Chain A
Amino acid sequence: MQRRARVAYMFLAPALILMMVFVVVPVVASFVMSLTDFNIRALANWGNARFIGFGNYIRLFGDELFWKALRNTLYFVGIGVPLAVTLSLLLAALLNSPLNRAKSLFRIGYYLPSITETVAIAVVWRWVLNSRYGILKQALEMVGLDSPNWLGDPAWAMPAIIMMAVWKGLGHNALIFLAGLQSIPSTVYEAAQIDGANGWEQFRFVTLPLLAPTTFFVGTMTLIGYLQLFAEPYTLTDGGPLDATLSIVLYMYRHGFKFFNLGYASAMAYVLFGLIFVATLLTMKRKGEEVTFG
């Protein structure tokens, strides 16, 4: 038995050592750093960093640009997550319909954007959104609409980023929903039909409650991912115009790796961590309420 335990530790060792070095210790280290004024001088010699207590957090509180980044990120999440969840559920329902005539073609087609690299596809979208030569302008004109100056107008830049993010993640989420839909036994629908439920009622009172765990999963994962918004504004707008698309991670990247205010950036990372934590807890609480129904 002793020997078996030793063997087990041997198999575990590489993974645990790597996780220790690259995850566990850094989580603690970055909290400690967030309590110091670690900056470019400390980069050359760690001894130059001074302990300043919660100074960085207090500074964040008064940093207007940080508040702006926080508001922008919440705007992106607040509109983006519900939109992404609703549209992908809708798409999954369409894909799941027995009347769908080209199942595998649609599945592949809708899934494609989600495996693409974000920067490369954002470069493509910058061209799609181009206010003079872009194809979105052409598409909007076909239905009689004017195209705004998407990335040049502070009011439209964030909607453009939301549009791209939802477009990109749609197929992936829809396929997760599709798996959820297919796991609902047909007998449940037959029972509902016998009780006289129409199509909408079946969706509202059978599909939605039984799909709650999937919705919860997709919603939480999208929320966590969206709170970490970075590559899209980095590529499309660099946070502009007028900081309208500056996100928390982009602001953190600037402080951390442009100006090397690593202490200050660590404090931002911890605020982000807190947001993700709270968001996850909140959705979990919601989940508890909904599951009693299913």
Chain B
Amino acid sequence: MKRAKSVPLALVINLLLVIGLVCMAAPFAWMLSTSFKGTKDIFRYPPQWIPSRPTLDNYTKLFRTVNIARPFANTVITAVSITALSLLVCSMAGYAFAKFDFPGKDVLFMGVLGTLMVPGQITMIPVFLLLKKLGLLNSYAGLVLPGIASAFGIFFMRQFIVTLPNELLEAARIDGAGEFFTFNRIVLPLCKPALATLGILNFTGSWNNFLWPLIISTDESMYTLPVAVASLAGQYATEYGLQMAGSVVVIMPIVIFFMLAQQWFMEGIAMTGMKG
């Protein structure tokens, strides 16, 4: 009796999920498909899902005429630098908050958490002026520096390091290990899972960051991928094949990264969910 009832329900649930999944996937498929089409096949209705005359012209143009390799390199350099420096700086601060007692600790920690409420738009203008004054517009330093220290990163590392056993740290101290040795050789290796999760969040976040690079990079040679694609979409407004190829170059590396490191991404969601 129960079985007879649950078969149609299972059908409905899975059907709804499949329809939703098609809605999720269709824009991606459409992007890939269009990026391999020539102009004639692009402007065709009803649309052709599998290109009848596939071509690499859009990608060739993307690399030759638009020189997408430069923004690609800029994005990689920026995202890697932010991720590495942020992991170091945030785990150091997290370690201090987790395992040390010092005057002003609670006030400082609340202060750090308080900055979570500040939207980026508030700090953007003075930071822009400061970096302009320092001559750091259109530089990697300008792209990277403001993104290193994050309240979330510090909080996240603190929560993880608090759970590490004190005995381990004490033992190192008794053996005469210096503070930085203890941090480097004992704390950091134990933090690997947290560093992986935070690193992935940081990397994806800075790869996808748009507003700050848009403001700080006024020179084409310092564009990051999102800025380059936005400019491409303005400059070649009707060349949809070229635009789709550009989007593929921005989106696919993160998608592939996600496929490879899925488990850590999922952990990241569970952790950000915990923040509430």
Contacts and interface: CB of A to CB of B under 8 A. Distances in A.
A103 to B, nearest CB: 10
Given A18-B148, A117-B254, A228-B119, A12 B92 contact: yes
Tell me which of B24, B108, B265 has the highest count of chain A C-beta atoms within 10 A of its own C-beta: B24
Interface stretch (A62-70, A75-83, A94-102): A94-102
Given A11-B100, A112-B24, A280-B117, A269 B124 contact: yes
Contact of B258 (A106, A115, A138): A115
Contacts, number: 272
A124 B252 CA distance: 13
A282 B208 CA distance: 30
A230 interface: yes
Contacts of A220: 276
A23 interface: yes
Interface string A1-24: 100110111111011101101111
B47 A133 contact: yes
A259 B233 CA distance: 22
Interface string B239-261: 01001101100110011001100
A167 B24 contact: yes
Tell me which of B101, B103, B125, B215 has the highest count of chain A C-beta atoms within 10 A of its own C-beta: B125
Contacts of B207: 117
B262 interface: yes
A230 B122 CA distance: 14
A256 B125 contact: yes
Given A19-B115, A109-B21, A128-B27, A99 B13 contact: yes
A261 to B, nearest CB: 10
Nearest to A141: B46
A119 B215 CA distance: 15
Contacts of B204: 115
A118 B90 contact: no
A209 interface: no
B56 interface: no
Given A18-B148, A19-B112, A112-B28, A25 B14 contact: no
Given A27-B122, A120-B250, A217-B275, A4 B100 contact: yes
A54 interface: no
Given A94-B13, A101-B10, A120-B226, A12 B273 contact: no
A242 to B, nearest CB: 19
Contacts of B211: 230-231, 249, 253
B258 A112 contact: yes
B201 to A, nearest CB: 10
A110 B149 CA distance: 31
A151 B120 CA distance: 28
Contacts of A272: 119, 121-122
Contacts of A118: 208, 210, 226
Given A15-B92, A26-B127, A7 B100 contact: yes
A213 B276 CA distance: 8
Contacts of A139: 26
A133 B27 CA distance: 13
A24 B145 CA distance: 15
Contacts of B225: 117, 120
A111 B268 CA distance: 13
A217 B47 contact: no
Interface string B42-56: 111111000000000
Contact of A262 (B89, B111, B129, B179): B129
A97 to B, nearest CB: 5
Contacts of A266: 125
B242 to A, nearest CB: 10
Interface string A214-240: 101100110010001011001100000
Contact of A217 (B208, B230, B276): B276
A22 B124 CA distance: 9
A262 B121 CA distance: 12
Interface of A: 1, 4-5, 7-12, 14-16, 18-19, 21-27, 29-30, 33, 43, 46, 91, 94-95, 97, 99-102, 105-113, 115-121, 123-128, 130, 132-135, 137-139, 167, 170-172, 175-176, 179-180, 213-214, 216-217, 220-221, 224, 228, 230-231, 234-235, 249, 252-253, 256-257, 262, 265-266, 269-270, 272-273, 276-277, 280
14 contacts: A12-B92, A14-B92, A15-B89, A30-B126, A118-B208, A119-B226, A119-B227, A120-B225, A126-B233, A128-B30, A179-B269, A249-B121, A256-B125, A257-B214
